[in-house]
Amino acid sequence: MLISLVLMAIFLAAGNLAFWHFDPEQPLWRRLLKVVVSLSITALAWRYFGRLGVLIWFAIIVVPPCTSTPSGFPCTASTAGPVSPARNTMPSAAGPHPARVGIAVE
């Protein structure tokens, strides 16, 4: 259990050092509360579920930062989502879209 708590403490310290600039005015008590709650949940996960519980808890903490950014966009290369052909602004080999040049599309 001690190794799990040390790893969680290192993980939290690295996160606080790396990401403090996103919210520098966050009160110290909130940062400390996050550390206390995270370490408490880690200890409880170890106590009741063992190493597997701690690994699941680490995954729960790690997955959200990997899947979204502070702005809410996913961390993938394409954040625009599906684009309709009428609003496509990318050049194509077939030339411009007929709706953009005033040609009636039936």
Residue 88 has pLDDT above 80, yes or no: no
Q: Are 40 and 8 in contact (CB under 8 A)?
A: no
Reported confidence tier of residue 47, pLDDT bands at 50, 70, 90: very high
Mean pLDDT of 95-105: 57
HSE-up of residue 11 (Cα within 13 Å, Cβ side): 17
pLDDT value at residue 101:
57
Cα 82 to Cα 96: distance, rounded to the nearest angstrom: 19
- What does the angle CA 80 – CA 24 – CA 65 come to, to the nearest 5 degrees? 40
Q: Give residue-wise pLDDT tens across range 61-87.
A: 877 666 555 555 555 544 455 555 555
Summarize pLDDT for 4-35 with one digit per residue, the tens: 889 888 988 888 888 888 888 888 898 889 88
Looking at per-residue pLDDT, the higher value among 86 and 39 belongs to 39
Taking the C-alpha atoms of residue 40 and residue 8, their distance in angstroms, rounded to an integer, is: 10
Domain ranges of the chain: 28-75
In whole angstroms, give the CA distance from residue 11 to residue 66: 14
